[in-house]
Structure 1
Amino acid sequence: MAKLGNAAAAIRPKGSGSVKAKVIGGLILAVIVIIALFNIFNFADTDANKIGLHYGGGVVEDKKFKSIIPPGSTNKLIGPGDTVYSYPTDQRSYIIGGAGADTDGGDEVTVVSKDNVRLGVRVQVYFTLNRTEETLRSFHERIGLKTDAYEDSGWNGMLQSYFRPQIDRALAAVATNFTWAELYNNESKKAAFQTAASQEFTRLLPAAVGGDYFCGPSYTGSNACGELSFTIQKPTPLDKGIIDGLEAKQRAELAKATQEQKNQQVDVELQSVKQQVAMLGAQGYLLKSAIESGKIQFMVIPQNGNVSIPVPTTGQTTTSPSR
């Protein structure tokens, strides 16, 4: 048995264990190198409707702005530990009182009219983010980092925190210049209210956020910033009984106008009768009226002609003599 064992050991290749260990060690080393490379060479992507802000974050450098990453970029090489914050480039909205994204539920802005009636107002604001480098950096560092606006939930929270209070203030400031009926039932007054509210909101928003961070919906990044689109729906009294009273008043006014029109028509007909009586006399007017109503029938008899005249009492026809 000892001889057989020595024979088996003699035919086993020398160094096979060390080769296997070298292979395993090489694979481990390769994996470590790959991991290290991925940490050294960091890559970033942006969606077609997002623009990126590239900030340094390595061990040996400050966390400062490095570059803008354009929309639709793929495998953009950035440094180890660097971060890219993405913001939207497409049109966005903030809607109060409707369904959909960026919506403040079924809420309404409450304002008080000139005649002290509380009204509910629904508002839609459409805009884009100002993408000039300096302005976008300022927005990110002053607003975005504080509200996490580079995330969807943070973006919606940012709008709620900064847009809603200024909308409330703008509408409240201008609503006191109009009566509730003007805002509810007068299109020209409603348009004037919307224009005034839009101007006030455009003035208040930059002061609240600290810069001209928002542009109009037609802004593309290379044209003029433009004004935000600010629209309102019909302001409606919160007390529905006020609307019912207005509708009842309008129905009464319509009925009154209809009756006045009928009275005017009767006056015209009476004046016509007076003129005919003055011209024909009372008997002549009565005869004319009877003929026109068909109560009196007459026939024109030609000379030297035979005419058959119905006789109501007998129902027979008589022939008048020739003349």
Structure 2
Amino acid sequence: MAKLGNAAAAVKATGGGGVKAKVIGGIVLAVIALIVLFNIFNFADTDANKIGLHYGGGVVEDKKFKSIIPPGSTNKLIGPGDTVYAYPTDQRSYIIGGAGADTDGGDEVTVVSKDNVRLGVRVQVYFTLNRTEETLKSFHERIGLKTDAYEERGWNDMLQSYFRPQIDRALAAVATNYTWAELYNNEAKKSAFQTAASAEFTRLLPAAVGGDYFCGPSYTGNNACGELSFTIQKPTPLDKGIIDGLEAKQRAELAKATQEQKNQQVNVELQSVKQQVAMLGAQGYLLKTAIESGKIQFMVIPQNGNVSIPVPTTAQTTQPNQQAQPTR
């Protein structure tokens, strides 16, 4: 009997261990199932200012373009292993020589003027990314993948690699048509320089990147692409002594103009004096001048009128019965 009892206890214990093993096995299977489901049902999101390019990346399919994921999408179902590359849809900038995002620090573009003066130029370019499906897809495959432009750091590297050389070339090409003083001190010439440089940059950029990947700042995705906004600040000679010389010259010219104006005024007054002398005679002119200056006072006496004119007198008063004392 003792042996039978021990055998029953052993069987009971074995049965309890099997239940625990089944529970653990069920948990493992559930975890595996969840992992499989998460790989089968892959989801993607895009920010409100980002557009996504959906590319396949599964085991049984090629890594090729699948679809556009609009800005602001949430829990967009994509395939297992697929990838979404997000690019900006809002206005962007590339600034040389200023503070802010997408900036080339405090750098300046150096150009040489018509009269061989080296000038520093600060530039601002404002634009948006062309979001036409085929154009955006081409940009990603030709430029984006190579520079990681779908990431912030890669985007800035892309601008530095493709924008900066074309800006340098555009400014250098047109700066030789103007003297340094025209670019520094003549608004009409500076405006013409900016227009010419913008046109040259607009021509060079698509050829460098391989397509019309960039539009103007007013582009929304549903209107015409438009031209990039290209502005420059006042070109400034790198040699500050040139500016000091120009300012000294301007001060001298201003002083000369002021003196010439004074001389002209004196000549006008002299001509007036000559005319009055001719009319009044020398004595008459002197009398007129004395009267006008207040040195001679006169009164108009009405005819047959009684006029009392006070005559100043000098009175000396002495005390009665007082004699002057002799001086010793």
TM-score interval w.r.t. the shorter chain? over 0.9
- 2:231 aligned residue: 231
Offset at 1:12?
5.2
- Where structure 2 has 5 or more consecutive residues not aligned to the other structure, the ranges are 319-323
Offset at 1:305?
3.4
1:253-304: CA deviation from partner (whole Å, max 9, x where unpaired): 1111111111111111111111111111111111111111111111122234
CA contact (8 A) 1:130 1:213 kept: yes
* Cα gap change, 1:41 to 1:281, in 2 (>3 Å): same
Instruction: Name the SS of the counterpart of 1:256 in structure 2.
Output: helix
Offset at 1:33?
0.7
Which deviates more, 68-77 or 305-314? Answer: 305-314
Distance 1:296 1:312 in 2: 17
Distance 2:129 2:317 in 1: 100
* Cα gap change, 1:26 to 1:120, in 2 (>3 Å): same
Instruction: Name the SS of the counterpart of 1:13 in structure 2.
Output: helix
Instruction: Name the SS of the counterpart of 1:230 in structure 2.
Output: strand
Taking only the aligned residue pairs, the percentage that are identical comes to 92
Runs of 4+ aligned residues of structure 1 deviating over 6 Å after TM superposition are 1-5, 315-323
Instruction: Name the SS of the counterpart of 2:77 in structure 1.
Output: strand
Instruction: Name the SS of the counterpart of 2:226 in structure 1.
Output: coil
Distance 1:36 1:11 in 2: 37
* Cα gap change, 1:315 to 1:229, in 2 (>3 Å): farther
Instruction: Name the SS of the counterpart of 2:246 in structure 1.
Output: helix
* TM-score for both structures, normalised by structure 2: 0.91
Distance 2:315 2:169 in 1: 91
* Cα gap change, 1:73 to 1:316, in 2 (>3 Å): farther
Offset at 1:21?
1.4
1:3-47: CA deviation from partner (whole Å, max 9, x where unpaired): 997499399587222222111111110111111111122111111
Offset at 1:67?
0.6
1:44-84: CA deviation from partner (whole Å, max 9, x where unpaired): 11111111111111111111111111111111111111111
Question: What CA RMSD, in Å, does the superposition of the two structures yield over aligned residues?
Answer: 5.5
Which deviates more, 4-13 or 167-176? Answer: 4-13
CA contact (8 A) 1:306 1:320 kept: no
Distance 1:44 1:18 in 2: 42
CA contact (8 A) 1:46 1:74 kept: yes
- Where structure 1 has 5 or more consecutive residues not aligned to the other structure, the ranges are none
Offset at 1:312?
5.6
* TM-score for both structures, normalised by structure 1: 0.93
1:75-130: CA deviation from partner (whole Å, max 9, x where unpaired): 11111111111110000000000011111010000001111111000000000000
CA contact (8 A) 1:306 1:322 kept: no
